[in-house]
Amino acid sequence: MSKLYLVPTPIGNLKDITLRALEVLKSVDLILAEDTRTSGKLLKHYEIGTPMQSHHMHNEHKTVDTLISKLKSGNTIALISDAGTPAISDPGFLLTRACVEQQIDVECLPGATAFVPALVNSGLPCDKFVFEGFLPVKKGRQTRLQLLAEETRTMVFYESPHKLIKTLANFCEYFGEERQLSVSRELTKLYEETVRGTAKQVLDYYTNKPPKGEIVIIVAGRT
């Protein structure tokens, strides 16, 4: 029976994969992986021999029709990203939407995603929050920051290490230096770190200690 499975994978610690995720990855006809080299390490660790195919932001538009045809032929496919839950700032939305439009069954397994532990661990209100992912790099960045300056809910951002200083400086400028925030990096890994404080305090910290690894920023809403 044709079905698309969206399967979360560990964001660092390989032990964070679920038993159900392993079961699905072993049973499907094909695994779509954002980077087959990265995912290959995970599959090898758990002795999973299911065929893999590359599915990333640069080719997902071109491959959707072919994948839909495979699913309509009765194949089962699992979609995974390099880390975390597919479609959360990673490929997955286009294929999921196409399956829904074609009335192909889609099932998303629960599992690892970076922003949930970062949010809960921040000490900031997490009863209401907005996920922003990556801010625009250039076009639209200023406009987005001006709008978010009025946001009253806790905000969640993803950022790369070489852009963290710029983003924290932007937060100081648009949200104010006293806005509370939390930066979590290398979640579930050996050098996991969470730094909490005002925007200015956290900016000063990382200015003196250049960050490495994947980063989640949690920012308090406007009070």
Of the candidates 127, 126, 178, 175, the residue with the CA atom closest to the CA atom of residue 147 = 175
What is the pLDDT, as a whole number, of residue 57?
80
What is the pLDDT, as a whole number, of residue 69?
96
Question: For residues 204 and 202, what is the distance between their CA atoms, to the nearest angstrom?
Answer: 5
Which strands, in side-by-side order, build the sheet including 3-6? 52-54, 30-33, 76-80, 3-6, 106-108
Question: For residues 128 and 105, what is the distance between their CA atoms, to the nearest angstrom?
Answer: 30
Average pLDDT rounded to a whole number, residues 70-98:
95
Interval 27-58: pLDDT, tens: 999 999 999 999 999 999 999 999 999 998 88
pLDDT higher than 90, residue 59? no
Domains of the chain and any CATH numbers:
3-108 (3.40.1010.10), 115-219 (3.30.950.10)
The H-or-E segment that residue 71 falls in is helix 60-72
Interval 188-219: pLDDT, tens: 999 999 999 999 999 999 999 999 999 999 99
Q: Supply the pTM of this predicted model.
A: 0.92
Percent of the chain with pLDDT over 70: 100
Q: What single-letter DSSP state applies at residue 23?
A: H
- Report phi then psi at 4, rounded to 5: -100, 125
Interval 168-188: pLDDT, tens: 999 999 999 999 999 999 999
Interval 88-141: pLDDT, tens: 988 999 999 999 999 999 999 999 999 999 999 999 999 999 999 999 998 999
In terms of DSSP bridges, do strands 3-6 and 106-108 run parallel, antiparallel, or are they unpaired?
Answer: parallel
Tokens 């390099």 sit at which residue?
82
pLDDT higher than 90, residue 85? yes
Average pLDDT, the chain: 96
What is the pLDDT, as a whole number, of residue 111?
94
